[in-house]
Amino acid sequence: MAAGASLSTFRLPPLPTIREIIKLFRLHAVKQLSQNFLLDLRLTDKIVRKAGTLTNAYVYEVGPGPGGITRSILNAGVAELLVVEKDSRFLPGLQMLSDAAPGKLRIVHGDVLTFKIERAFPESLKRHWEDDPPNVHIIGNLPFSVSTPLIIKWLENVSRRDGPFAYGRTQMTLTFQKEVAERLTATTGSKQRSRLSIMAQYLCSVQHVLTIPGRAFVPKPEVDVGVVRFTPLTQPRIEQPFQLVEKVVQNVFQFRRKYCHRGLGMLFPEAQRLESTGKLLQLADVDPTLRPSQLSVSHFKSLCDVYRKMCDEDPHLFAYNFREELKQNKSKNQEKEDEESYRLQ
- Residues of the shown chain interacting with ligand SAM in the complex, contacts defined by CB under 6 A: 33, 35-38, 63-66, 68-69, 84-87, 90, 111-113, 141-143, 146
The residue among 112 and 249 lying less far from ligand SAM, judged by its C-beta, is 112
The residue among 60 and 300 lying less far from ligand SAM, judged by its C-beta, is 60
The residue among 90 and 307 lying less far from ligand SAM, judged by its C-beta, is 90
**Cβ atoms of 80 and 55 closer than 8 Å:** no
Q: Measured at CB, which residue is nearest to ligand SAM?
A: 63
Instruction: State the nearest-atom distance from the C-beta of 65 to ligand SAM, in Å.
Output: 3
Instruction: State the nearest-atom distance from the C-beta of 85 to ligand SAM, in Å.
Output: 5
161: DSSP letter:
T
Instruction: State the nearest-atom distance from the C-beta of 68 to ligand SAM, in Å.
Output: 5
Instruction: State the nearest-atom distance from the C-beta of 238 to ligand SAM, in Å.
Output: 29
3-state DSSP assignment of residue 82: strand
How many beta carbons lie within 10 A of that of residue 175, not counting itself? 26
Instruction: State the nearest-atom distance from the C-beta of 126 to ligand SAM, in Å.
Output: 25
The residue among 147 and 276 lying less far from ligand SAM, judged by its C-beta, is 147
For the stretch 84-90, contacts whose Cβ atoms lie closer than 8 Å and that sit 24 or more positions apart, written own/partner, are 84/60, 84/108, 84/110, 84/111, 84/112, 84/115, 85/109, 85/110, 86/110, 86/111, 86/112, 87/30, 87/33, 87/35, 89/25, 89/26, 89/27, 90/25, 90/27, 90/64, 90/65, 90/66
The residue among 214 and 288 lying less far from ligand SAM, judged by its C-beta, is 214
